[in-house]
Structure 1
Amino acid sequence: MRATRIPLIALATLGGLLAVPVSAQSTGLEDMVGARAGQAENGVRARGYELIRADRGDDRSYTYWWSASRRQCVTIATMDGRYASVTPTLPPDCGKIASSDRGRPDTAYPSRPAYPPPYRPSDDRRGDGYGRAPSIAGRQVTLGLVCFGDGSRDGLATGTQWQWNSQRDRYEYGSYTESRREMFDASLMLQLWDGGGRIRLPKSLIPPINSRGDNGWWDLYDVQPDRDTITATYRLNGFNKPRITIDRRAGRITVQGLSSYGFRGRCDQLGGPNRF
């Protein structure tokens, strides 16, 4: 990617990166990050993984690998011909049945209504607790998601090199600062209710100039659910209003804002299947 040079000036401190793994279980492939994709595939197979499927994103591709001995599904993101990340994920992402579901029939997900169905009101599910649907300011949450993936934003890099000084008519060794796209692992959370919702962002997706949010949460606007997708926007600041697109069949999410700001990942539904 082409880098744009800017003068070395005092700059606002960027937020720290946040990396949240899907599982603490080792994949045995952690050392593959940075390897050339074509050469590394044989190494992945040699460690007991088989290729299940592949997806193509805007600037990277995703391959899904399954290890029968580990009962482990792994997502490998490839960018610029190299493995950018190795992320453990759930067996259903590789078309396999989770360990707790072995022996049960592998039934397809039933057809869904246009808007995510509410939780069953069989009990008073208003408070915190495992498996309970929270109520936010009197609004019942109908869909809760935790999404893991890769984020990007505009970043800054500094270094030293020889540069031409036209005023002094000679080369001089000095420092420089350039803007470039930064990639990182991240996770985010979403809560949707009838007519609205909110999103919780990691620090790595919050720029120094922002609308502050509410304890890390940003309100969602223009929430448009249909049978296959859910779209919405949030106001990060006066200029950047990222758009969210959720693929309900694939369980994937895309967030796209100005310039390099964005996020791509896979979502887990709280208290339900990975496809919603």
Structure 2
Amino acid sequence: MMLLAQAAALLLACDGVGEVPTTDTANVTGFQNGEFRTGRVTVHSSTTKDLRVMVEILGDTGRIRLPEELVPYMRSRSDEGWRPLNDLRLTREQMEGSFVLGLGNRPHVVIDRLTGELRIRGTSLLTGTTSFDGVCRPVEAPTEPLF
């Protein structure tokens, strides 16, 4: 695999579908041992949602910004939502790296440079699954205020 020495500054907007954790809580009443008992039940699951992920590559470093819906409650610090891409490898065909999202969760990122397809996968016992599939396109970073 040939690594590129340096890539030009690149900002990508990646639109796709992410797996978003959800929590539902309900009160339940049941009959047990001749008595009515009441309790609460909490169910953790996930749903899919249309989202946008941003990726920025500057030379041989990069960073990623996930939408809030994909960021777990227990998470690592970030710079206004941007997280550094670690172990970044840039080849002619793909960009690949990982980032720290939370305790034990280092999602893996792969972007196919020929198709624009982005895939993010990560998992942690504490924060659950991080999953996103999308298509990236380059965007111009604003240099002047829009208004």
The structure that is strand-richer by fraction is 2
| SS of aligned partner of 1:237 | coil
The CA deviation at 1:164 is 6.4
Please identify the structure whose Cα radius of gyration is greater: 1
Paired amino acid for 2:131 = G
Aligned residue for 1:153? Answer: 20
Counterparts of 1:116 and 1:153, CA distance in 2:
36
The CA deviation at 1:143 is 1.9
The structure that is helix-richer by fraction is 1
The CA deviation at 1:155 is 2.3
Question: Is 2:5–2:60's contact at 8 Å kept on the other side of the alignment?
Answer: no
- Which residue of the other structure, out of 136, 141, 144, is the alignment partner of 1:267? 136
Q: What per-residue deviation string (whole Å, max 9, x for no partner) do you get for residues 235-259 of structure 1?
A: 1123111110111122110111104
The CA deviation at 1:270 is 2.0
Question: Is 1:196–1:222's contact at 8 Å kept on the other side of the alignment?
Answer: no
Task: Calculate the TM-score normalised by the size of structure 2.
Answer: 0.77
Aligned residue for 1:247? Answer: 112
- Which residue of the other structure, out of 191, 194, 200, is the alignment partner of 2:65? 200
| SS of aligned partner of 1:257 | strand
The question of 1:228 aligning with 2:97 is answered no
Counterparts of 2:59 and 2:67, CA distance in 1:
25
The CA deviation at 1:232 is 0.6
Question: Is 1:181–1:260's contact at 8 Å kept on the other side of the alignment?
Answer: no
Task: Work out the percentage of aligned pairs sharing the same amino acid.
Answer: 27
Q: What per-residue deviation string (whole Å, max 9, x for no partner) do you get for residues 174-223 of structure 1?
A: 43111112322211111112321111121112212212201111011001
Q: Which has the higher contact order (CA 8 A, sep 6+)?
A: 2
- Could you tell me which runs of 5 or more consecutive residues in structure 1 were left unpaired when the two chains were aligned: 1-112, 120-141, 272-276
Paired residues in the alignment total 135
- Are residues 143 and 170 of structure 1, via their aligned partners in 2, closer, same or farther at CA, if it must alter by over 3 Å? same
Paired amino acid for 1:232 = G
- Could you tell me which runs of 5 or more consecutive residues in structure 2 were left unpaired when the two chains were aligned: 141-147
